[in-house]
Structure 1
């Protein structure tokens, strides 16, 4: 079953939503409004505010693109966009699992005209260079959209994201703190969702 849940209290009408066409079966999608803009401002305390009440919506029956993606494929040789000034950031964390998972982030970022970021654990593991690190010990970014994939949402990471940025989270842990500050989110395995997203970006007419 696909179920979307939305906060009952004052959801912003312009909130960013995950494209319906790329939601695979057996994915639990969530949309949430950040409790306060200051929740992930530089130096902010951990975001522990209680989540707003949610209402579930059954989304079964949505069209789902089918795609296979070779995770061993390397990023293109073209220069990767810098995080500085990027309007869209596609960022991966510990939940990506290993180095072989990161190429798909570069492909998605390239199609969106964005840049790739990473959390401290991902950089420490050698999955991304330190120039891609977002957080209190890395770069401070101010994109319009921040796609956080496999990122738990520690205060140290959120301190590197402008409070006006709209965060879209993909995580297989529905209790991850990132959902407390995300405007839209999907509880799913990235291995299921990202190939479908990439396929939809490559073949928008098929969605």
Structure 2
């Protein structure tokens, strides 16, 4: 059934590239803090090596993963087969946030298709890869991407997005500061 690996195999990478959706899990250190699980869509994930991935993180109403990574670095990415043979694949590792305007952003952003509302890149050093059966995951059919976020971000414009990030993305729901919260305002 389940197997554990120190790095992604070629078949893991091929499986990941076929997925239209993945989930990101993170948690604060505090005992009563909220565990966060976020769905991610679009063509936002890149595999750089068997132990290195990153995704272009788009503007959202919260920024929990970012705060958790700043506090403790722990992150899990989960991919599930909703078509074809069943499988669940998890990438466990240490993550960090790369903000626009930094040298590292400039080095990484060329690997992504820039999208309206891009707020940061989450870079993950993969420590463990686990696969499991996924026998109970139902079948779903992919119909396409939603354009709601892109339309909303375009309507906000650069200044509107910056104001939104300052208002909604500086502090987590548990009161943890995010990298955006540490960033100097323009």
TM range (shorter): under 0.3
Query: TM-score under structure 2 normalisation?
Result: 0.22
TM norm structure 1? 0.21
